[in-house]
Amino acid sequence: MSLLQVENLEVFYGAIHALKGVSFNVEKGEVVSLIGANGAGKSTTLRALSGLVPCRGKISFRGNDLLIVPSYKRVTLGIAQSPEGRGVFPQMSVLENLEMGAYHRQDKAQIKDDLEMCFGLFPRLKERVWQMAGTLSGGEQQMLAISRALMSRPELLLLDEPSLGLAPLIVAQIFEIVKKLNQEGMTVLLVEQNARMALKISHRAYVLETGRVVMQDSAQNLLNNDEVRKSYLGI
């Protein structure tokens, strides 16, 4: 049984049919990417998984029907999202943002250990632990958004456009951290405009166009696919 199984997912924004029967799966321990042009439905897919938009179809997580679970409870099942645009709480400190990620947890000793884990991944956050999140740079806010998601101890980490608007050096650092997290056992579903970077750290990927999956394969095969190279990799 797949960790995550999505079948015939449909989302409407008013009269706009944003997702038109999207199906895919994620196995435990994988990094799976959703790639495609702007407006293809990638971020909408993640929002549907988190319960942030109404949808039809089937979403199964660890064999359980996710569509009957309210959005605020999905994090307690083991799903956490680092959203597009980071979505940090600007008037709260770095520490307070991280503590918000663990709001549902009672294991205080382990929460402290996980804070140190996040500071180990992103030392810059420890340097700015009392700084207001709204005053951080874009790269620092992205580090904070990912760390806040990790503080919930997810079994599945949803990353929505983690490289958006960041300098190349910060992008490379973020992707190295994602790769390290996966090597330590984290399952990741990645939505990313930078298809080349996404495919380089993924096991498999799905290509979306106008709300439909038009191609799926191993990440390496997609990197070498002439159509993908021409349309999404600029080669």
Mark 108-136 as b/e (b = at least 16 C-beta within 10 Å).
eeebeebbeebbebbeebeebeeebbeeb
Q: Which two tokens stand for residue 176?
A: 């190295």
Residue 71: in which H helix or E strand, if any?
helix 71-77
pLDDT band at 234 (very low <50, low <70, confident <90, very high): low
Is 1-78+156-166+186-235 CATH 3.10.20.30? no
Q: Does residue 235 register a pLDDT over 80?
A: no
Task: Report which of 127, 34, 39, 43 is spatially closest to residue 81, judged by C-alpha positions.
Answer: 43
The more confident residue out of 107 and 7 is 7
pLDDT digits (tens, 9 = 90+) for 26-66: 999 999 999 998 889 999 999 999 999 999 999 999 999 99
pLDDT digits (tens, 9 = 90+) for 199-225: 999 999 999 999 999 999 999 999 999
The pLDDT assigned to 162 comes to: 92
State percent of the chain over pLDDT 70: 99
Q: How far are the Cα atoms of 12, 193, 208, 211 from residue 16, in angstroms, in the given order?
A: 5, 22, 16, 10
